[in-house]
Chain A
């Protein structure tokens, strides 16, 4: 039985590309307002999982239920989702505002409210001054902020993020990481956040789904035992990180030399 505030339920999920299995079996649930990190080694099937729970790619087996609706049944209702991709995937020939309007136009948000909504969300992300800029004139961090704004814009059931900070320089990634928790609390967003950085997962998430090497299953459903607000350089974060590294060493096949890199 699912808890009443379950937004996503994944049951017996398998994903294959032809004969190659990417995900062998996953079961989990996510509640409204939760920040869940998906942690796994490269190639274990993290992006495949996001494809399956976003409706981009039908799983080879199992069920995905979003807000009580089966995602892959014919004539099922399309859920409203946000997606922050690794690359920004903005339309470079449209300004920031136009990029957001295109998404609003495709949803059923009444037109009179667009302007206020766009202003509010750009304000939350501190990019109000770039409202009328072309995306190519912005920095990588600013573009990713627009991408996050776009994901928040339609009040999604949940937001998927696939290593959204991994292409940014560390200084930019740090400030965005820090803001992300605040943004999620302010907007009440439910987030599924894929990362291969253990520290990032520990810092951001309420729960970490640690996957095995591909074809993946869930190695551990880990609740982060640190209250908020958190500090990225806090010793407790480093402790939890070290603890997780100890546990995954064997299943991920990490040698002692590799573990630091992976963090």
Chain B
């Protein structure tokens, strides 16, 4: 194996784990990425010839980034992801707060939530497509139904774990219900809501791509599936990589910034 590495990639030496690297973040990332590329490269060369080589894929990525068609699909999928993400998060959070505060609401929603969490996501997708056809509605509904229960669950636990002392404070000073929710409860839920949003976003974009692949004529998922059907693996890899990176950037950038802003009161 080391021979093969030396032959195929003479510029790369296998990193030895040592104290100098331990704990350092950047070298770790470089090593992780490097080894992944290496394995990929080796796989493409020696083991599975139908895997596109990294270099070819890079060329394809570049081509994709210049293509209007790609950006059309990208924007379409992004809109679907953001729409479903927003609806699922808002709906899930609202239900989570409701059942966290009201035992009657909890008694009603709890079995539904448990059921919703037990159903595998593809089942929602298939049923939504059967019910609504291949339009926008099916994806929207399937994503919302698949994602919202997770958000509800996280938010509900956080409502239960709230500071009851602040509830008493709100009652003593007779804060109206709206002020209690806005000033006392919601801020306490922020960390849980951020976790829920992260989770919900990740689940949304992954499922959105699946929905497109199964039941929609356009979008990133459909384009990946089309390339796969035609066995154009380079296109599959290139499209997937761009999309995954974009979603990661969005999650870290947007949600990370939001988190900093919302939790700035912490000492």
Contacts and interface: CB of A to CB of B under 8 A. Distances in A.
Given A89-B165, A91-B166, A134-B265, A154 B171 contact: no
Interface size band for B: 10 to 19
Interface string B135-168: 0000000000000000000000000000001101
B147 to A, nearest CB: 27
B180 to A, nearest CB: 9
6 contacts: A78-B174, A85-B165, A91-B183, A93-B265, A102-B175, A106-B174
Nearest to A147: B169
A252 to B, nearest CB: 28
A103 interface: yes
Given A87-B165, A89-B165, A81 B265 contact: no
B265 A106 contact: no
B168 A89 contact: yes
Interface in A78-119: 78, 81-83, 85, 87, 89, 91-94, 102-103, 105-107
Contacts of B169: 83, 85, 89
A105 B179 CA distance: 9
A226 interface: no
Interface string A217-247: 0000000000000000000000000000000
Interface string B69-110: 000000000000000000000000000000000000000000
Contacts of B171: 55-56
Contacts of B168: 56, 83, 85, 89
Nearest to B172: A83
A102 B184 CA distance: 10
Contacts of A106: 173-176, 179
Contacts of B176: 106
A136 B179 contact: no
| Among B165, B175, B265: residue with most chain A CB under 10 A | B265
Contacts, number: 54
A93 B263 CA distance: 8
Nearest to B168: A56
A48 to B, nearest CB: 13
A107 B267 contact: no
A103 B267 contact: no
A103 B172 CA distance: 10
A102 B174 contact: no
Interface of A: 54-56, 78, 81-83, 85, 87, 89, 91-94, 102-103, 105-107, 134, 136-137, 150, 154
A89 B183 contact: no
Contact of B187 (A78, A93, A154): A93
A246 B168 CA distance: 37
Given A87-B165, A102-B183, A81 B172 contact: yes
B165 A91 contact: no
A134 B265 CA distance: 6
Contact of A136 (B166, B173, B174, B267): B267
B174 A92 contact: no
B103 to A, nearest CB: 18
Contacts of A154: 173
Given A91-B184, A102-B173, A136-B266, 5 more contacts: A82-B172, A83-B173, A106-B173, A107-B174, A134-B267
Nearest to A57: B168
B157 to A, nearest CB: 20
Contacts of B173: 83, 102-103, 106-107, 150, 154
| Among A103, A134, A136, A137: residue with most chain B CB under 10 A | A103
B70 to A, nearest CB: 43
Which 6 A/B pairs are nearest by Cβ-Cβ distance? A136-B267, A93-B187, A89-B169, A93-B265, A83-B172, A103-B173
Contacts of B179: 102, 105-106
Contact of B265 (A83, A89, A92, A105): A92
A154 B173 CA distance: 9
Nearest to B187: A93
